[in-house]
Amino acid sequence: MEYRFNEIEKKWQDQWKADKAYKVSNESAKPKYYVLDMFPYPSGAGLHVGHPLGYIASDIYSRYKRLKGFNVLHPMGFDSFGLPAEQYAIETGQHPAETTKNNIATFKAQLDKIGFCYDWDREVRTSDPGYYKWTQWIFLQLFNSYFCNTQQKARPITELINKYATIGALPRNGKPVAGVHFTAAEWNAYSKKEQEDILMKRRLAFCAYGEVNWCEALGTVLANDEVVNGVSERGGYPVEKKKMRQWYLRITAYADRLLEGLETVEFSESMKEMQRNWIGKSQGAEITFKVVNGESSMVNNESSNSNSSFTTHHSALTVYTTRPDTIFGVDFMVVAPELELVQQIKSASEANAVDEYIAYVKSRSDVDRMAEKKITGCFTGAYAINPFSQQEIPIYISEYVLAGYGTGAIMAVPCGDERDFKFAQHFNIPITNIIGSHFNGEEANATKEAVLENSGFLNGMQMMDASELVLQKLEEQGTGKRKVNYRMRDAGFSRQRYWGEPFPIIWTDGIALPLDAEELPLELPHVDKYGPGPEGEGPLANIKEWTNISPTQRRETSTMPGYAGSSWYFLRYMDPHNTETFCDRKASDYWNQVDLYIGGTEHAVGHLLYSRLWTKVLFDLGLIGYDEPFKKLLNQGMIGGVSEKIFRVGANQNDEANSFAGHSSNSLVIKWHLVNNIPIILRPDDGGDLNYYLFSLSADLDVDSYETSLIRTSLNCVDDGILDIGKYKLHKQENSLHKDVSSYEILLCKDGYYDSKKENWFNYEKKPISPLSFKTIQVPEKMSKRYGNVVNPDDVVGKYGADTFRMYEMFLGPVEASKPWDTKGIEGVHRFLRKLWRLFNDDIKGKVWTDEKATDAELKILHRTIKKIEEDTEKFSFNTAVSAFMICINDLFDVKCHKKEVLEKILILLVPYAPHIAEELWQQLGNDSSILDAQYPTFNPALLVESTKEYPISINGKVRANLSLALDLDQKQVEEIVLQNDVVQKWLEGKDPKKIIYVKNKMINVVV
RNA sequence: GCCCAUGUGGCGGAAUUGGUAGACGCAGCAGACUCAAAAUCUGCCAUUCGCAAGGGUGUGAAGGUUCGAUUCCUUUCGUGGGCACCA
């Protein structure tokens, strides 16, 4: 009987489904274990072989834990709201709900073929009304909460209202500031709208006008982490700054707790570091400088509610610095051009220049700014007064200072800051050196270890100590205070799109009123057109009857971003069908934190921070019992694709007269399609006729002198690294604008080696080459439909079976490592499974397993394997576990062991990795119950105890001999035996050894 | 520029945490079985000198600590990832 994996896998997948073998209960006497995968976005392209890597790892661990006696929750679902479905809808008119449904069906079919142990009864889809009802509900909890600074946690907003109505909002010390502080009486006298506006500034989900990343092409705003290098992460469209009313989550309030929480979870160091960088906490000081205007036209306006934190009059300029110790080195000030303050301090004589400069800055997009980092700026005509030296310091504006960070203004210390230094040079501002020889006048030196000079009362002090003293003085004078700053901004939470959760908010007379919980879910209305609405609003604004409830009531027309649904999905799995609450407290208490979370690093700052935030808020409000969602995070690497590339040769740089000379590499693409006899040059296989190449060009062509570039072929045209020219021509014909390919010549080139860095060939060796065999060049590249290098797991599973596929993906290397997919090695894993099969069944003889008693040697093989597999699985070292299985089967073959006593234990070890074959052979051994619930074998150390050890004997650290010695020998006995050894004698050359090192059970080293 | 990883045969990768470098697999070579192929099995497989016995060299590079270093330290180079006018 042979190993017919297709039949076996189908049979058991059906059986397990019928038996509900993966059904998980919330009631169990067993200890719980929660294994979670980052659920996929169901894209139209389906799964490729890279996706399941993490799923396989989590599946192995889940099954392992189950065998170990745990009640294991291992669910799967779909993050099914999002941009691509909507883009597709715009293009094709198909409703996102429809395409999403189809895509999910494809995904599920693909996943099921791999044999995962998901409890599909717990599946969640973020776009289901039954699911997003609770996303909306949690949003309302955020809306109805504020962050209490004394308790450092979220509290119901009603508590704040109570406080305002009874005691008001008064400063803890200092004078009340208008617009910020008020008494209870004042509060009670405010209009409803005024009260709501004040409350909005405290809500955890709030609405505000702010600069957002507006993407015109996508017709929506994007969160900071969705913008990469000034363009949208999805699609790569330009992004501009725009002031709009947006919803936000007040994640900045949780900055400290998000940082502290990292200490309590097992994430990789790099992952934690990324989150820390994103939060970007820094400690420093806010220092207030008095401002004098050049023409002394002092302004005296009330402070505005801009994003600067000005609380005093505009006769002052507050800056944020992490280096208060450099206060005497301040040679100028720089204010962000966007700040309103600029208008108030600019002097009459400079006003024109200032306005011109501001107009210039506005004209520049983020992309421009990043592309060319020019030094630009403009003097305002105003001066600031140094609070210690009382010196007048000129105030400039420049785009290098960001309005959104700190106070939007800096004190510039050119001797200690590179940017300040360059700015000073550019505008010829004299530089004060406060760090003596540390500053060479050529470039700034940001040292923290200098002794201060030219620094008034700080002279002679270490910078570190000076910081503290300056802070104290500032506080005494009331001109500054300690201040912690964060780079992180509040998270933009609205999108001008259709395919997302609608906000359960109705605008009434400009007040955002939440829906009642009973009115949820607020379902997405049906639309016919997905185009944007008027004035930058989303498609929902086009449906008047839905949007305009009454003359005074209007629905919110933006929808929630992609990360809304994924911020809490791990909770819904615990209690997916509950219609009363998002997740019953009993269920979330039972399953508690996710014990193991597996997913890619691409979500390091987005999804992980947001779900950590939501968890903390839910915890603060007493809705769940823990404030970190994920106990341990394992990052799987990305499996990349490999593109099969060939060379195209362009113009000969030296020979103008050549038939294809004179084309720049840019025009090559076109020329290649248009001009006859432009060669595609392929790296040829070994063997064949070198002259063919020279002959066909009838010239002594040196490829090195030509522009060469790599072009992709399609995987379909390549078999085992050899290009099929016929298929390739056909492929080109189908995909080319110019259907006539008859003129394309494919030529051979001398062999050489390929330098991937320079994308060029070097060092041609004169090897004979074959005119008929064309090797392609394999270049690792992202797996993408566009590149034609996608490998579908269905194909691999069809050819080798799910068990082989699972084990092979693990065998490729450590799960955390990124690597390109390469099908070549899969044969080895497949051979292993067939070999395992032959321990039970012979192709000719049929059943070969026996009931005989196992020998000690056989038990030793078994228990060595139990130990190794268990250890490796525990530490997620799945690649070495697979190799341990191979060693075990090889060993059992060597001793011809076909004994059930040994084999059935091996099968249990194998279940997590290759469940189908394990179950099949388990049943063949005569077991009635499923192997999925078998008991994990226990390792018996007694069986592996050895009495002797084959020691390597080294002389001066180099192994020269091996010697089998009893383990209970002491140093002296060992020395005697070792010295009698012939090889040792030879190396000693009659001398006495200086020293003999004997490490029990390890090695022996003789020092001569 | 800053931060974090990482570097081992033709290839993917092992190495019990300082103790026989290259497990396991792929590819390759030689052989067995077969009319043949597939499948399977056996042997070889870092490099170099040597008929062999046996030596030399070798974990990106250069130093150091140690009886002994892929592992620890210093310097340096390459690759990958993250952040990037964040004051």
CA of A370: nearest nucleotide by C1' is B85
Burial of A669 (0-12, 13-18, 19+ CB in 10 A): middle
* pLDDT value at residue A668: 22
Q: Is the CB of A952 under 7 A from strand B?
A: yes
* pLDDT value at residue A308: 36
Q: What is the pLDDT of residues A740-796, one digit of tens each?
A: 444 444 444 433 333 333 333 333 333 333 333 455 666 677 787 777 788 899 999
Q: Is the CB of A225 under 7 A from strand B?
A: yes
Q: How many CB atoms lie within 10 A of CB A799?
A: 14
Q: Is the CB of A167 under 7 A from strand B?
A: no
Q: What is the pLDDT of residues A833-853, one digit of tens each?
A: 999 999 999 877 888 899 999
Q: Is the CB of A343 under 7 A from strand B?
A: no
Q: What is the pLDDT of residues A867-919, one digit of tens each?
A: 999 999 999 999 999 999 999 999 999 999 999 999 999 999 999 999 999 99
* pLDDT value at residue A664: 27
CA of A782 to C1' of B9 (A): 27
Residues sharing a CB contact under 8 Å with residue A336, sequence separation 6 or more, in sequence order:
A397, A399, A401, A402, A403, A408, A409
* pLDDT value at residue A662: 29
In Å, the largest CA–CA distance within chain A is 109
Q: Is the CB of A208 under 7 A from strand B?
A: no
Q: What is the pLDDT of residues A343-361, one digit of tens each?
A: 888 888 888 999 999 888 8
What the block records as the tokens of A120 is 């599909």
CA of A704 to C1' of B83 (A): 39
- Residues 383-422 of chain A with CB under 7 A from strand B are 399-402, 404-406, 408, 410, 417, 419
* pLDDT value at residue A221: 81
* pLDDT value at residue A646: 62
CA of A949 to C1' of B71 (A): 24
Ranked by mean pLDDT, the top range of A136-150, A482-496, A713-727 is: A136-150
Q: What is the pLDDT of residues A988-1007, one digit of tens each?
A: 777 788 888 888 888 888 88
Q: Is the CB of A322 under 7 A from strand B?
A: yes
CA of A206 to C1' of B16 (A): 55
Q: Is the CB of A880 under 7 A from strand B?
A: yes
CA of A605: nearest nucleotide by C1' is B82
Q: Is the CB of A827 under 7 A from strand B?
A: yes
Mean pLDDT score, A929-934: 95
What the block records as the tokens of A310 is 């000005």
Ranked by mean pLDDT, the top range of A330-339, A480-489, A610-619, A983-992 is: A610-619
ipTM: 0.95
Tokens 């479905």 — which residue? A85
Please tell me which residue, A478 or A678, carries the higher pLDDT value: A478
Percent of chain A with pLDDT over 70: 84
CA of A831 to C1' of B52 (A): 38
- Residues 893-922 of chain A with CB under 7 A from strand B are 893-894
Tell me the helix, strand and coil percentages in chain A, rounded to 5.
40, 20, 40
Q: Does position A172 have pLDDT exceeding 70, yes or no?
A: yes
> For residue A691, what pLDDT band results from cuts at 50, 70 and 90?
very low
* pLDDT value at residue A875: 92
**Are the CB atoms for A688 and A769 separated by under 8 Å?**
yes
Q: Does position A699 have pLDDT exceeding 50, yes or no?
A: no
Q: What is the pLDDT of residues A787-835, one digit of tens each?
A: 778 889 999 999 999 999 999 999 999 999 888 888 888 999 999 999 9
* pLDDT value at residue A741: 43
Q: What is the pLDDT of residues A655-686, one digit of tens each?
A: 332 333 222 222 222 122 212 223 344 333 33
Residue with nearest Cα to nucleotide B6 C1': A817
Q: Is the CB of A885 under 7 A from strand B?
A: no
* pLDDT value at residue A737: 45
Q: Is the CB of A485 under 7 A from strand B?
A: yes
The CA distance from A409 to A395, in Å, is 10
Q: Does position A158 have pLDDT exceeding 90, yes or no?
A: yes
- Residues 19-48 of chain A with CB under 7 A from strand B are none
Q: What is the pLDDT of residues A572-626, one digit of tens each?
A: 999 999 999 999 999 999 999 999 999 988 887 889 999 999 999 999 999 999 9
Q: How many CB atoms lie within 10 A of CB A29?
A: 5
* pLDDT value at residue A682: 38
Q: Which long-range contacts (CB under 8 A, 24 or more apart) does A722-729 make?
A: A722/A685, A722/A773, A722/A774, A722/A775, A722/A776, A723/A644, A723/A646, A723/A682, A723/A774, A723/A775, A723/A776, A725/A774
The bases of strand B with some atom under 7 A from any protein CB are: 3-5, 11-16, 19-21, 23-27, 39-42, 55-56, 67-69, 79-83, 85-87
CA of A827: nearest nucleotide by C1' is B26
Please compute Rg for chain A using Cα positions: 36
The CA distance from A143 to A154, in Å, is 11
**Are the CB atoms for A703 and A653 separated by under 8 Å?**
no
Judged by phi (left if over 0) then psi (alpha if -120 to 50, else beta), residue A720 lies in left
* pLDDT value at residue A821: 86
Pick the range with the lowest mean pLDDT from A302-316, A554-568, A610-624, A790-804.
A302-316
* pLDDT value at residue A212: 79
Q: What is the pLDDT of residues A127-146, one digit of tens each?
A: 999 999 999 999 999 999 99
Q: Which of A213, A202, A209 lies closest to A253 in space, CA to CA?
A: A202
Q: Tell me the CA distances in angstroms from A588 to A32, A36, A627, one per residue in order.
A: 12, 14, 12
**Are the CB atoms for A708 and A631 separated by under 8 Å?**
no
Q: Does position A159 have pLDDT exceeding 50, yes or no?
A: yes
Q: What are phi and psi for residue A868, nearest 5 degrees?
A: -65, -45
CA of A818: nearest nucleotide by C1' is B80
* pLDDT value at residue A214: 82
CA of A269: nearest nucleotide by C1' is B4
Q: Does position A420 have pLDDT exceeding 80, yes or no?
A: yes
CA of A255 to C1' of B22 (A): 48
Q: Does position A242 have pLDDT exceeding 90, yes or no?
A: no
* pLDDT value at residue A754: 35
Q: Does position A567 have pLDDT exceeding 70, yes or no?
A: yes
Ranked by mean pLDDT, the top range of A191-200, A535-544, A731-740 is: A191-200
Q: Is the CB of A489 under 7 A from strand B?
A: no
Q: Is the CB of A267 under 7 A from strand B?
A: no
Tokens 């193991």 — which residue? A596
CA of A583 to C1' of B3 (A): 39
Q: Is the CB of A814 under 7 A from strand B?
A: yes
Give start and end residues of each alpha helix (H) in A293-350.
341-345
* pLDDT value at residue A752: 37
* pLDDT value at residue A279: 92
CA of A747 to C1' of B39 (A): 39
Q: Does position A387 have pLDDT exceeding 50, yes or no?
A: yes
The CA distance from A23 to A20, in Å, is 5
CA of A268 to C1' of B86 (A): 25
* pLDDT value at residue A684: 34
